[in-house]
Amino acid sequence: MARPLRIQYPGAVYHITCRGNARQNIYKDNEDRKRFLELLTESQKIYSIKIYSYVLMDNHFHLLIETPHGNLSEYMRHFNIRYTGHYNRRHKRTGHLYQGRYKSILVDKDTYLTMLSRYIHLNPVRITGMKDMPYKEKMLYLQKYKWSSLAGYINKRKKQEFIDYDFVLEEYGGDNEKGRQAYGDIISIDVSGKMDIKDKIIGRSIIGKEDFIERVVDRYLKRENDIREQPSLREIHGLRAKGEILRAIKEATGKDLDEIKKLKGSERNVLMDLLYRAGGIKGVEIGKLLEVDYSTVSQGRKRLRDKLKKDKKLKQIVNLIEGKLL
């Protein structure tokens, strides 16, 4: 399996996860957890990292961090090596503690940071055995869970010096009583829901709006760099192409995606065909985007090919759109 992309630049924000080897626990007791947080903050100071949220589970951890100097790899290498060293010395063991490399998802800070902060804070009640617990018990468990940054978000007296609360709480009214109350209220709503981020992650590497992904691609990824060998890169470029195709079609027809979804004629068929040919997007994914069956995509593309042989005006429109994509 190809590794997910490692995208680094100054000011990048990441959702980090790291699991124990063979899913084994990475903490024996609270002394390990305390030392973990001590080493986390020591590494934070050395590499000037901002930490927005964290949670320590038995066999893995989550971090939401920002790297002002674009040094994620150095930071994580330093921190993971130091904690592994502590764990092995204390428990008289050798070898790897973690299951491979850490996983990092590049985050669109302006759009998804606050949602990911809440997602991280909900982890203690998302594990097997907790999901079916009554709502009140879940909330009480979350509020009492010691190894998470949530307490400082909802109670000023429990703030931790190494956590940057300002940016997340700004969306809820600020780093004050009002903001903390609002953040706690939305967490209580999330507990009853099914928040998931998996369907928002592109190429196993990025979570963000299309304009954010386009900027990342333009600045930090080479368009033709090992695209065939790197599935995550292909998926990212496919999303970028989708945005370009939708803009080109809107310029040519005056209709956006929501409007085209409601149609059953040539304009929808043109979109399906260009997404497939120019965007490299699979028929199943096109069907999900347009909320139709895969067979509808295949039939629509065939109807378009037949119609282009007779309809010169439609062919001119398609040529115009393709010209904008070159």
Q: What is the reported pLDDT for 325?
A: 63
The secondary element (H helix, E strand) that includes residue 318 is: helix 312-325
Strands 201-202 and 206-207: antiparallel
Q: What is the pLDDT along the chain (326 residues), one digit of tens a residue?
A: 445 567 899 999 999 999 999 889 999 999 999 999 999 999 999 999 999 999 999 999 999 999 999 999 999 999 999 999 999 999 999 989 998 889 999 999 999 999 999 999 999 998 877 778 888 999 999 989 999 999 999 999 999 999 999 999 999 999 999 999 999 999 999 998 777 787 788 777 889 887 888 788 778 775 544 444 455 555 565 555 677 788 888 888 888 888 888 888 888 998 888 888 777 677 888 888 889 988 899 899 999 988 988 888 888 888 888 776 65
Domains (ranges, CATH) in the chain? 12-200 (3.30.70.1290), 231-325 (1.10.1750.10)
Q: What is the reported pLDDT for 289?
A: 86
Q: What is the reported pLDDT for 281?
A: 77
Q: What is the reported pLDDT for 12?
A: 95
Which own/partner contact pairs does 83-87 have at CB distance under 8 Å and 24+ positions apart? 83/35, 83/36, 83/39, 86/32, 86/35, 86/39, 87/26, 87/28, 87/32
Q: What is the reported pLDDT for 226?
A: 45
Residue pair 103/17 in contact (Cβ under 8 Å)? The answer is: yes
Tell me the Cα Rg of the chain.
24
